Structure formats: C-alpha cells, structure tokens
A and B are shown apart, each in its own frame.
Chain A
C-alpha cells in the first residue's frame, strides 16, 4: 500500500512539470458535483445511520426538531421543525411547538405526529445510534407515555430525570433526530419493521433535498426539494461521486469535472492550491488525537511524571511537519465548536522542565515504558516523535504496533502503559466527550466500563465525576458551558490524558462555489446554502 502510494506520487510528480492547465470544462450552474469516499454508507435510515458519508446525506434530506445553522455553527442549536419549546418546572418535560405550514417532500404536512412516530421508531428499532436517545431513559416500553404528540402542532418528550435542556436538544440535532414522513414510511412497513428495510435505500424527509439515487460505492444523487420551508435550494442537483484515489480527485477537480474534492492528500492540496480557479478550505472536524497513561502503572500514576510527559511532546514540531494541514494543536477534551470548548494550550515541548519534574518525582534518569498504537501511518509517526522527545529526558519508549482489534483489546483490558490513539465524538453535545474523558463511576476491574476512557486508564476521579454529572443537568446553557470550561482546565492539569491535536479536513473547491459548509466538528455537510 505504501509502495503503491509512493509510486502514484512519483507518477504525478513526474508529469507535474509539464502540466499545462487545459481548457476547464465546467459543471452546470445549478448542479454541485463532489468527489468523496462514500463506501462507508450502509444505510440511509436516520434511525440506523451512524457513518460520516451517511450523516452527510441525512443532514440534507431530513429536517430535525432543532438543528445547527450552517451559516453559524458556533451559535449552537436553533429552531428547525420545532418553532419554539418550553421546559417544565422539574426540567423533565420539553414541549415543542411545531413550525406551521411545513411540508414533506411528498406533500404531506409535517405534524407533531410525525415527530412522535420518528422518535418512537428510533427507540423501538434500537439500532446502533439509539443510545443517543435512550440515555434519557426512553425505552420501547415507555415511549407511549414519554414521547407523544398532544395535538398536530404540539409535541412533548419527558425524560426519566432532570437533564440540561441543551444536552437533550443537542442530541436531537444528531442524525437519529431526523423526522420522517410517517404516512409514507408506514406504507412501506414489512413485518412490523417500521419501514426500516425500505428507508435503508429510500428517503421520506422534509429537508432541502430528496434522494435521486444511491448506487453503493458509486454515487449519491440528491434532488432539490421544492417544498423545503427555507426555500428551494439553488443547487437543483447534488451528485456525490465515490472516487477513491486522491490523485484521481485532483485530476477531476483540475479538469472542472467536479466542483469539490474532499479527500485530497497534503501533496495534492499543495498542488491544487497553486492553481487558478481552485481554492482550498480547511475546516475543523471532531476527531482528537491523544495519548493516555494507565494509572495502574506505578510510575505513570505519579502526577509529576504525568505532567513531565505533557512537556515532552513536540506539539508544534509535529503539527508543522508530517501533520501539516491535517491536525492542529488542541489540548482540551472538547473539540472546538462544541458548547464549552476552550482553546487553552498550556503545554509545549520543554525538556528542562520535564527533567526537573521527573527528578522531583524520583526518576531523574527516566524509566522505561511501552506505547501501544494501531498500524496507521500518522499514528506511528507520532509515536516515533514521542519516542524521540521522551528519550531526551531519559524515558525509554518501546512502540508496540498492532491491528485495531489487538490494540483496542489491550486498551480496554487496561493492560497498556501508554495508549496513542484518536477519539471522535458520537453526538453534538459536550457530554459525548465529557462522559468518557472526565467520568468514572466505578474504577474497579469488575465494573468493566470499557466504553469509558477514564476507566480504561484506571483514573479514579470521584470529584470530577460529580462535576461532570452536574453539568449534565444544568439547565442554563451559559452556566453549563462554564462548567465544562472549568472541568476541562482541571482535566488539562491533572488527568493522565495528553490531548494533542484536533483533526482538520482540507477540501479543494472550484472558486465559483460558495456557501459550502462541511459541518465543522459538530455536524455534517449542508448543501442548501451553496451557490455558484
């Protein structure tokens, strides 16, 4: 694989010298053509879809009760199909007023009954992403009481205890919160599957687009929905074509056969950036790169050692060399654009300080430890950089490379010294990361809380767990944001996690295309504001 990409690079470089920009063909003015890797789409049913390319499709086809505005993602959630909402005294019941006059692509009106059907359906079907909703206590048995339409325009949900309203509403902006056309879906029900089989390959939403066609591993075509309540989008057709190779995407972009190329590697990005008529956009995504130290290890559980290690990472050096354009320094557990995210970066490479800390900890000559890492190019390169900088303070690092399964297995079994890996948020609320980095209800081996990163590192934090749980029930959005800021600063200072980077996605775009938003760290792409 490596050899192959090297040869491709060589091939491209060989001819790059004689590249004459050809007469650029252009895509039609009302059509947006995108090259992307879309082989991860396995279903289009919003109750089931949990992959990147699938979320991209769902965001443009299914409106939700509340949603992010692509023009201002930092504003957080705002009204979508729900025009307004009120929260009961006890904080458990949220009552939504549906936006009047909105129609599905089929022409059916969007009512509270559809919201009721869609959310109940997501709970009853119980597919992979269902935990995003069931964490509020909804079960197939209680949905008749907890999720209900009071009349055509009033919809109500009741959670099992008090939660921050922003927590609940953020979760409703996820793909699983998509509102389906209950009449159309029920017509396609087979053996009580609530239309799941049909919705995998068909769509019934009220969003900006409807599905024209989906050919797996080939293309997804979206057609503008004339009934879209925010007005029919300018791009009448959006075609996302599956193009695997970066070099191929670059050629198509340079030829003008596509408007946007989403998987260009750094070399190709550099090349297209120099071309007339092509712009390069960088957008932050949700994935974080971090290392974590197992607190079962007697050396690594020493707070001074943990702090020393945080000063032994060449954050800037890596960012400016092999991670250039792909990762940016970020040292807190909430990705930028999440509610409560902070951009403090207290740590940088400081070998002297680290040495002093190690001496204080009683390890003036360093020690030996093992880093486990998955066999992925950039991760191994990071591990090698760590090995190098750690050695400057006398810490001898052995790198163990394994398959994803092996490495995760060891990590979940709490058998590692230091783990190097990535974490991506599951849903657009700070709790998605706080609930794993900063919570550990039971640190015993028997608890087996393998889904929780703090547990995997045997980091026992009764106080911080309480703080994190308190943030989950704080109803004032601003106060809640401040709580997360505080938790993150404490986390930065004391946790055995050294969060290093946040992912950047770089996109090549024809200059005449405007208004494309990839969704940042928090949501998926939106096409409806695109103009040419």
Chain B
C-alpha cells in the first residue's frame, strides 16, 4: 500500500480539504487494487483447464443440457464481455450464485468468513500476547539458553506440518484425554441455539448470554486457534527479536544506559517504543495471512472456513465462488493495510 504524495503540498488548504483529498486517494487506491485483483483472478479462472459446465451437469449429461448450461453461464460470449458483466454485478453487490452450493456467493461468504475470522483473531491475539514478549526476551538475553529455547520454539512452529500436529493434538486432547471438543465449531446439540449476529459463535453466544454454548464453542476453537497462534507466534517472536536487536545495538540505548535508566525503562520505553511501527506491519500481515484461511487446518478440524471454501471451489471450477472469496480476502488485506497505516500515525508522530 503506498501513500501517494500529496500534490497540494505547499499550498495552504483547509484541514478538511486535505482530509477529503486523502480519503479520495485512499478510495482510488482501493478501487484500482481491487479492479486489478478481479481482472487477474477472472482471467486465470477462465483459462484454467477445468470445465465449469461439466461440474454443473455431470459427465453423463446430454449435449442439449450441456449447451443450455453453457449459455446460461454466459460462456458463449467473448471473455471481455463476460468480465464486464461480472464487474457490473459485483458493483451492485451481486457476486452471483455458487455452482457448487447453489447459494448466492455472498451468503456463502457470510457463513464461512466469520468462522475463519474467529479462528484468525484468536490465533493472532495468542501470537501477539506470547510472541512479542518472547521476542523481546530473546533479544535482551541474546545468546543465553533463553534465546536458544525461544529459537527452538519458533523453529518448531515454522516447520511442523499443521495437519500432522493438528491430528496429534486431536488424538491426544480430544481422543485420549477428552479435554476439548472435537472437529467442527460446536457439538451437534448446541448448533443453531444462538441467533446469528456476527457469525462468530463466541461473540454471538456472549451477546445472547448463552454461556453454555460459549464454553462449548471455546472447547472446539481452542486447539485449531492454538495451532494457528503457534504459527503466528513463531513468526512474530522472530521478527520482534530482530527488530529489538537492531535497536539495542544503537547508540541512544547506550546513552540511556549511561544515564542510569533502569533496564526495564531502557527496553520498553526506549527500544520497544521504536519498533512498534514495523511490528504493527508484521502483525497486520500475519493476521491477514491467517484471514485467508488455512486449508489444512480447516480440513483436519472440519472447520467451515474461507480457505477450504475457495480451494474446493477452485477445484470444481466454481469461478463465482472463487472470485467472491478472492475479492473478500483482497479487501481484507487492503483494509488491514490502511488500518496499520492509521496506527503508524498514532504511534509515530513523524508519519504523515
């Protein structure tokens, strides 16, 4: 995400005017990014060697039925025309109907995205709450056993295949110990008990005051979220460590120490304050990565999220679903970037 340099700089304008220009620029950037994304996805989708018609009518359909479906999908029109039709519908908020589920894509996304969001949010919170202190600690205690342990923890988090650790986790904590809920978002008897507001069951059940459902949902989410959290922890702690090392080696830290400030003060008030901005970028990117959905985690835990939604749609050439999903993920990336930029301003007065 780039901040386009302000052409009106130098001339005195009212703050309101500058704000309006800034907003317009941001919106324009979003629009161009999204248009590019749509364009690329659309054409990749159309040149893929999977036949969307076959996936609707099946292998044994007659020629006539095949042709009807072909026309109904608009595939007889030139590609560019198809793209403009699609664009027109998207602008009106209509992503079309999923061939695979028969539901409007927007309904499908409303169902699958909150599931992913719930998982990703808890995972990221875990990653930040544990990963940042761990990274800082590893940097401060550089070269000691603490640093080594932190390194091993991160390496395992990086390299352990998620489906393997997920299955082992299920086997131990669900199969043998029975501490947590099994695959799926809820036990079957708790399903459809709380009204859907956000689609995130933890939030919906809390809003409804139904703590039994909340507990059950938590017992189901804790393991997959921990796995994602572990992955994000590994990344965040390594990045925090390297940012911190850079700061701790700087002269101003030496100066602060010479001045006799407490070590706590040096680390958190001085060094850490300076890594907030790059750290925000790292966390935002890691969060966005989790929001794309983790296909393997979703499959192992029968978690109906957006990752497996897009993947299975892609395999059955359900392009409406793929495009809809891609647009949402793209939008999330863009919005998180903008949010991160806003946070820069908050933490770093120099940022304009």
19 example contacts (A-B, Cβ-Cβ < 8 A) are as follows A7-B163, A8-B167, A11-B164, A14-B168, A19-B175, A22-B175, A31-B189, A39-B312, A41-B101, A42-B101, A127-B65, A216-B100, A216-B101, A248-B167, A248-B170, A248-B302, A251-B171, A255-B175, A255-B178
Instruction: Indicate whether B137 reaches chain A with its CB closer than 8 angstroms.
Output: no
Q: Is the beta-carbon distance between A252 and B182 smaller than 8 angstroms?
A: yes
Q: Is the beta-carbon distance between A42 and B99 smaller than 8 angstroms?
A: yes
- With the chains together, A255 CA to B176 CA distance in Å? 9
Interface positions of A from 402 to 454, Cβ below 8 Å from B: 405, 408, 426, 451
Contacts of A41 in B (CB 8 A): 101
Known pairs A15-B168, A217-B101; A241 contacts B304 (CB<8 A): no
Instruction: Indicate whether B198 reaches chain A with its CB closer than 8 angstroms.
Output: no
- With the chains together, A317 CA to B98 CA distance in Å? 45
Residues of B in contact with A (beta carbons under 8 Å apart): 49, 56-62, 64-65, 68, 98-103, 108, 111, 161, 163-164, 167-168, 170-172, 174-178, 182-184, 187-189, 191-192, 299-302, 304, 308-309, 312
Instruction: Indicate whether A108 reaches chain B with its CB closer than 8 angstroms.
Output: no
Closest 3 pairs between A and B when the two form their complex, measured CB to CB: A216-B101, A200-B102, A218-B304
Instruction: Indicate whether A128 reaches chain B with its CB closer than 8 angstroms.
Output: yes
Contacts of B301 in A (CB 8 A): 248
Q: Is the beta-carbon distance between B60 and A201 smaller than 8 angstroms?
A: no
- With the chains together, A4 CA to B184 CA distance in Å? 21
Contacts of B60 in A (CB 8 A): 128, 426, 451
Task: State how many angstroms separate the Cβ of B173 from the closest Cβ of chain A.
Answer: 11
Q: Is the beta-carbon distance between B171 and A257 smaller than 8 angstroms?
A: no
- With the chains together, A4 CA to B182 CA distance in Å? 21
Instruction: Indicate whether A239 reaches chain B with its CB closer than 8 angstroms.
Output: yes
Contacts of A245 in B (CB 8 A): 167, 299-300
Instruction: Indicate whether A130 reaches chain B with its CB closer than 8 angstroms.
Output: yes
Task: State how many angstroms separate the Cβ of A187 from the closest Cβ of chain B.
Answer: 19
Q: Is the beta-carbon distance between A257 and B187 smaller than 8 angstroms?
A: yes
Interface positions of A from 48 to 67, Cβ below 8 Å from B: 50-51
Q: Is the beta-carbon distance between B172 and A43 smaller than 8 angstroms?
A: no
Contacts of A8 in B (CB 8 A): 163-164, 167
Known pairs A11-B164, A200-B102; A239 contacts B188 (CB<8 A): yes
Q: Is the beta-carbon distance between B302 and A244 smaller than 8 angstroms?
A: yes
Contacts of A7 in B (CB 8 A): 161, 163-164
Nearest residue, chain B, Cβ from A22: B178
Task: State how many angstroms separate the Cβ of A366 from the closest Cβ of chain B.
Answer: 35
Instruction: Indicate whether A274 reaches chain B with its CB closer than 8 angstroms.
Output: no
Interface centre among B103, B184, B300 (most CB of A within 10 A): B184
Nearest residue, chain B, Cβ from A20: B176
One digit per residue, 1 when the CB lies within 8 angstroms of any chain B CB and 0 when it does not, for chain A 12-56 equals: 101100111011010110010100000101111000001100000
Contacts of B175 in A (CB 8 A): 19, 22, 251, 254-255
Instruction: Determine which of B58, B103, B170, B187 lies in contact with A128 in the assembled complex, contact meaning CB atoms within 8 Å.
Output: B58
- With the chains together, A347 CA to B126 CA distance in Å? 63
Contacts of B168 in A (CB 8 A): 11, 14-15
Task: State how many angstroms separate the Cβ of A49 from the closest Cβ of chain B.
Answer: 10
Instruction: Determine which of B102, B302, B312 lies in contact with A243 in the assembled complex, contact meaning CB atoms within 8 Å.
Output: B302
Known pairs A15-B168, A451-B60; A201 contacts B163 (CB<8 A): no
Q: Is the beta-carbon distance between A248 and B103 smaller than 8 angstroms?
A: no
- With the chains together, A243 CA to B185 CA distance in Å? 12
Interface positions of A from 246 to 289, Cβ below 8 Å from B: 247-248, 251-252, 254-255, 257
Nearest residue, chain B, Cβ from A23: B178
Contacts of B65 in A (CB 8 A): 126-128, 130
Contacts of A451 in B (CB 8 A): 60
Task: State how many angstroms separate the Cβ of B350 from the closest Cβ of chain A.
Answer: 48
Task: State how many angstroms separate the Cβ of A327 from the closest Cβ of chain B.
Answer: 21
Known pairs A127-B65, A217-B309; A42 contacts B102 (CB<8 A): yes
Q: Is the beta-carbon distance between A11 and B167 smaller than 8 angstroms?
A: yes
Contacts of B300 in A (CB 8 A): 245, 248
Query: Other than the known A22-B176, A217-B308, A219-B191, what 12 A-B pairs have Cβ atoms closer than 8 Å?
Result: A15-B168, A15-B171, A19-B176, A127-B57, A128-B65, A131-B62, A215-B111, A218-B304, A241-B184, A241-B188, A245-B167, A248-B300
Task: State how many angstroms separate the Cβ of B96 from the closest Cβ of chain A.
Answer: 13
Instruction: Indicate whether A213 reaches chain B with its CB closer than 8 angstroms.
Output: yes
- With the chains together, A216 CA to B177 CA distance in Å? 31
Task: State how many angstroms separate the Cβ of A138 from the closest Cβ of chain B.
Answer: 14
One digit per residue, 1 when the CB lies within 8 angstroms of any chain B CB and 0 when it does not, for chain A 117-149 equals: 000000000111011000000000000000000
Task: State how many angstroms separate the Cβ of B174 from the closest Cβ of chain A.
Answer: 6
Nearest residue, chain A, Cβ from B178: A22
